[in-house]
Structure 1
Amino acid sequence: MNKNKFSIRNIPGWAVMLAIFGILYATGLHTEAIGQVQRLLLATGIKKADVPEPVTSVSDAAEVTEVAASEVMAGAGFKLKGLDGKMVAFESLKGKVVFMNIWATWCPPCIAEMPNIQKLYEKVGSDNIAFVMLSVDEGGMEKVQKFIDKKGYTFPVYMPASEFPQEFYSSAIPTTFIISPEGKIVAKQEGMAEYDTPEVREFLQSMVKK
């Protein structure tokens, strides 16, 4: 009997894993696979997601409302283009609480946190709380639209249509900003996080002008 006969059992584990990742990469499914793993970590609590820490407390923000209202909004001059092709001036959102998430289809952590953001949007999205899911993909709007349609997300999605404001620069993706009705950045979260929590919902709703 030939002891050197080929058997799958003789293939080293590292070679099998390398082959699997090679197939996923070649088919473009590696981003989805990594995103699913990270989503599982969020759901099981193995990886605890951070909650945005407010730069300015809601009470402090209320005290400076009159002064802030006369100041320039963060991101003023920035132009966005919705998936419907319509142009939006970022400063037109002044007076609303803005939840802005910077993401891309090639970013596994972005994909992992999106279902959670969708749930948050369904619970608090309104005329007073605006969601800006800002894609920085270079593949064009068609690629982003295809991704959103496939996932069935309903939150508003945009792409930059002008130079990116310096105040929105970040060393990480995804990055999320929460902007007060007065136009001030009151929270910034770099990296994947869980947003559909009582704390975040209360934080957003507490800033809505009565």
Structure 2
Amino acid sequence: MSKHKFSIKDIPGWAVMLAIFGILYLTGLHTEAIGQVQRLLLATGIKNADVPEPGAVASATEIAETAATGSSVMAGAGFQMAGLDGKPVAFESLKGKVIFMNIWTTWCPPCVAEMPNIQKLYEKVGSDKIAFVMLSVDEGGMEKVKKFIDKKGFTFPVYMPASQFPQEFYSNSIPTTFIISAEGKIVAKQEGMADYDNKEVRDFLQSMVKK
């Protein structure tokens, strides 16, 4: 009776994949791995952000927001944030600027996937009339978020909630991105990851500045 020698080829493919995923999960690298795959998807251009045409009539989102809050009330009024330096920032202090706000977490692969293209957008539309708010809703504390941002080398402004989260910014998905007009009205909302480093988004933000 011949003895069968064990070979790596005898291990089922599903077991190998499970082992690899288990190692990635235990080392905390699964978020990065999945994020890299999703970043390749964004690079194809099939997940571009959905923004109105520059100069278009107010979107249904803006109309609903105006009806809910009143035309003179800014979205996120009363909301307090904290920068990674710990200094408090009132969301209302940004009124008068076009706001690009992205809600994200460090453990979210789609968030990790879209962040590089948001960084590129931030660099290309640099303006004192456009404010970027990268709002982390991590529960691990500010040091965890700061370590993540420093490791990635991102330079866009990052904040964490320092008061009750505004109802108008609630979403069933992370990441979620809002574009808010200088008058304080939500004019675009994107649930899920998207590519923001494209001409359509840049043109839309610039058109809002010119109004």
Q: What is the TM-score normalised by the length of structure 2?
A: 0.90
* Alpha-carbon distance in 1 for matches of 2:124, 2:85: 23
Q: Which residue of 2 aligns with 1:108?
A: 109
Q: Which residue of 1 aligns with 2:55?
A: 58
Give the AA of the match of 1:6. Answer: F
Q: Which residue of 2 aligns with 1:129?
A: 130
Give the AA of the match of 1:31. Answer: T
* Alpha-carbon distance in 1 for matches of 2:122, 2:2: 63
- Conservation of the 8 A alpha-carbon contact between 2:102 and 2:175: yes
- Conservation of the 8 A alpha-carbon contact between 1:113 and 1:193: yes
Q: Which residue of 2 aligns with 1:21?
A: 21
SS of 1:58's partner is coil
CA displacement 1:49-86 (0-9 Å, x = unmatched): 142233x963546xxxxxx9970100000001000111
Structure 1 moving runs of 4+ over 6 Å: none
- Conservation of the 8 A alpha-carbon contact between 2:54 and 2:203: no
Give the AA of the match of 1:107. Answer: C
Q: What is the TM-score normalised by the length of structure 1?
A: 0.91
Identity %: 82
Give the AA of the match of 2:55. Answer: V
Q: Quote the RMSD (CA, aligned, Å).
A: 2.1
Structure 2, unmatched stretches of 5+, are 59-68
Give the AA of the match of 2:126. Answer: G
Structure 1, unmatched stretches of 5+, are 62-67
CA displacement 1:8-45 (0-9 Å, x = unmatched): 01111000000000000011100010001100121134
Would the alpha carbon gap of residues 9 and 59 (structure 1) be closer, same or farther in structure 2, given more than 3 Å must change? closer
Would the alpha carbon gap of residues 190 and 11 (structure 1) be closer, same or farther in structure 2, given more than 3 Å must change? same
Tell me the CA shift for residue 126 of structure 1: 1.9
* Alpha-carbon distance in 2 for matches of 1:51, 1:132: 17
